[in-house]
Amino acid sequence: MLPTQDKIIAIVPAAGIGSRMGSELPKQYLLLDDQCILAHTLDRLLGHPQISQVIVALHPADEHFAALAQASHPKILTVTGGGERADSVLAALNRADEHAWALVHDAARPCLAADDIDRLLAARSEFPQGAILAMPVRDTMKRADPKGRIQTTVSRERLWHALTPQMFPVASLRSHLAAALSAGALITDEASAMEWAGEAPGLVVGRADNIKVTHPDDLRLARLFLTRANSALG
């Protein structure tokens, strides 16, 4: 079933606890200038003219989302997330129009730019199987041994950092993700579920400032990028 080219649903896994951030609050609710990380992320998606719905997967015990201004936006639908990110994404996919395209984007990536979304959406004709935003690796890559010493240098030839959004037809992503999880496959992004099913998603070069806020020092960088983006908008 080919998706209708014009219906785009954003899916935002936001049910994590942010353990690597080490904060009291789940990291998606940490303040970044004038609002929390999740609010910034939702604004980027809600503000894109081609995105008709945003499905947000929340932690079962989430007590913060309802207080966000974005919570009452007509495009927003919430679902209860699962134990892992992939479970949260599947829970959202189960509520999505099966004829649409899904754009899965981490709540923890608040600096997403509109031109990144535009570039990914434009790639549907080149990659009808789906595609992800990604960044070619720039540094020499090392694999460590168990004692934290260099074991080997990994070739960075055709090596990319996977980012989000990751864009796939709802029907095929839902089917492959459910099958991969049932098979016990390790799924850390949507593309790995599609790869598990034998697909070869496209790679679309994304911006370096589309960082995932994971550790405390990422907050300072995210603030810098948001401030720069806001001043560019005037």
Residues that bind ligand LQXTBERG (CB under 6 A): 85, 106, 162-164, 188-189, 212
- Of 93 and 124, which has the nearer Cβ to ligand CTP? 93
- Least distance to ligand LQXTBERG from the beta carbon of 2, Å? 25
Report if residue 7 touches ligand CTP, rule: CB under 6 A: no
Q: Which does 88 bind (CB under 5 to 8 A by kind): ligand CTP, ligand LQXTBERG, none?
A: ligand CTP
Per the CB < 8 A criterion, the answer to whether 97 and 167 are in contact is: no
Per the CB < 8 A criterion, the answer to whether 212 and 109 are in contact is: yes
Closest CA to 103 of 55, 65, 47, 49: 55
Q: Contact with ligand CTP (CB under 6 A): which of 49, 60, 74, 83?
A: 83
Report residue 72 as tokens. Answer: 């009452």
Closest CA to 188 of 160, 164, 218: 164
182-204 exposure pattern, b = at least 16 Cβ within 10 A, e = fewer: eeebebebbbbbbbbeebebbbb
Cα–Cα distance measured from residue 36 to residue 115, given in angstroms and rounded to the nearest whole number: 22
- Of 71 and 84, which has the nearer Cβ to ligand LQXTBERG? 84
Report if residue 227 touches ligand CTP, rule: CB under 6 A: no
- Of 39 and 187, which has the nearer Cβ to ligand LQXTBERG? 187
Report residue 174 as tokens. Answer: 């839902």
Q: What share of the chain is helix, strand, coil (3-state, %, to 5)?
A: 35, 25, 40
Please name the residue that has the structure tokens 């959004």.
165
Please count the residues of this chain forming the interface with ligand CTP, following the rule CB under 6 A: 22
- Least distance to ligand LQXTBERG from the beta carbon of 212, Å? 5
H or E element: which one contains 175? helix 170-182
Q: Contact letters (x/-) for ligand CTP, 134-163, by CB under 6 A?
A: ------------------------------
3-class SS of residue 32: strand
3-class SS of residue 36: strand
Q: Contact with ligand CTP (CB under 6 A): which of 40, 44, 48, 85?
A: 85
Q: Contact with ligand CTP (CB under 6 A): which of 8, 9, 16, 55?
A: 16
- Of 1 and 67, which has the nearer Cβ to ligand CTP? 67
Q: Contact with ligand CTP (CB under 6 A): which of 32, 51, 108, 133?
A: 108
